[in-house]
């Protein structure tokens, strides 16, 4: 029995293995499959939601397989997450996608509506702190994870930020995935129905 390894990290001297490479490929395949299926079903934000759900299914199947075996428990921890280069590539792609939406006209329109934008940001930050305080005091979530889980923003960007800061990714991702699902599958159809009538 060797020393335990923190989740998301590989034991020293085992930075690369065929098992890790295979699981990374399965994660990417599962995410791509989920994204493709939900996109073809025309579900709003289907690519993002499908990728998360597909990778989650792969992780769940991997955990079940490892739990049935008598191998060293660190395999369960090593199965989590993606290698550094894959994560960095994903972060770079997210950055490019966000940057492609911005232009000089966007910044100019932001300057014109500076007051309402500032007020909305202050209000959102206030609500974020209230919810984070609730998660921290009532559910014993650590402060960093509580803030990341309560913060408004895109699920992909906040997940990347949470991973970089060392927050509990499963908590942050669960809260934001639930928020996105509620908005996309409940609130959006209701709004479309109300506006259409």
Radius of gyration of the chain (CA): 20
- Say which range, 56-70, 96-110, 144-158, has the weakest mean pLDDT: 56-70
DSSP-derived letter for residue 186 is I
Spatial contact of 188 and 182, defined as CB atoms under 8 Å apart:
no
Residue 130 is predicted with a pLDDT of: 95
Which of 6-20, 55-69, 136-150 has the weakest average pLDDT?
6-20
Collapsed DSSP state (helix, strand, coil) of residue 152: coil
H or E element, residue 11: none
**The pLDDT of residue 73 is above 60:** no
Q: CA torsion sign, 12 to 13 to 19 to 25?
A: positive
- pLDDT above 70 for 102: yes
Quick one: average pLDDT of 171-188? 87
> Which range, of 15-24, 52-61, 103-112, 132-141, averages the lowest pLDDT?
15-24
Q: Give the number of other Cβ atoms within 10 Å of residue 26's Cβ.
A: 18
What distance in Å separates the CA atoms of residue 33 and residue 124, rounded to the nearest whole number? 35
Concatenated DSSP letters of 47-101: HHHHHHHHHHHHHHHHHHHHHHS-S-THHHHHTSS--HHHHHHHHHHHHHHHHHT
């Amino acid at each position: 029995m060797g020393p335990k390894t923190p989740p998301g990290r590989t034991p020293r001297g085992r930075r690369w293995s065929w098992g890790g490479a295979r699981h990374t490929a399965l994660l990417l395949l599962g995410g791509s499959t989920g994204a493709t299926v939900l996109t073809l079903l025309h579900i709003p934000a289907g690519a993002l939601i499908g990728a998360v759900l597909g990778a989650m299914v792969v992780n769940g199947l991997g955990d079940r397989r490892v739990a049935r075996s008598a191998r060293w428990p660190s395999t369960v921890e090593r199965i989590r997450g993606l290698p550094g280069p894959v994560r960095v590539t994903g972060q770079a792609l997210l950055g490019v996608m966000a940057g492609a939406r911005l232009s000089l006209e966007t910044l100019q329109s932001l300057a014109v509506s500076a007051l309402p934008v500032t007020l909305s940001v202050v209000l959102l930050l206030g609500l974020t702190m209230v919810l984070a305080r609730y998660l921290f005091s009532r559910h014993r979530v650590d402060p960093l994870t509580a803030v990341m889980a309560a913060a408004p923003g895109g699920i992909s960007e906040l997940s990347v930020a949470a991973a970089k800061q060392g927050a509990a990714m499963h908590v942050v991702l669960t809260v934001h995935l639930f928020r996105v699902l509620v908005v996309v599958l409940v609130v959006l159809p209701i709004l479309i129905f109300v506006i259409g009538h």
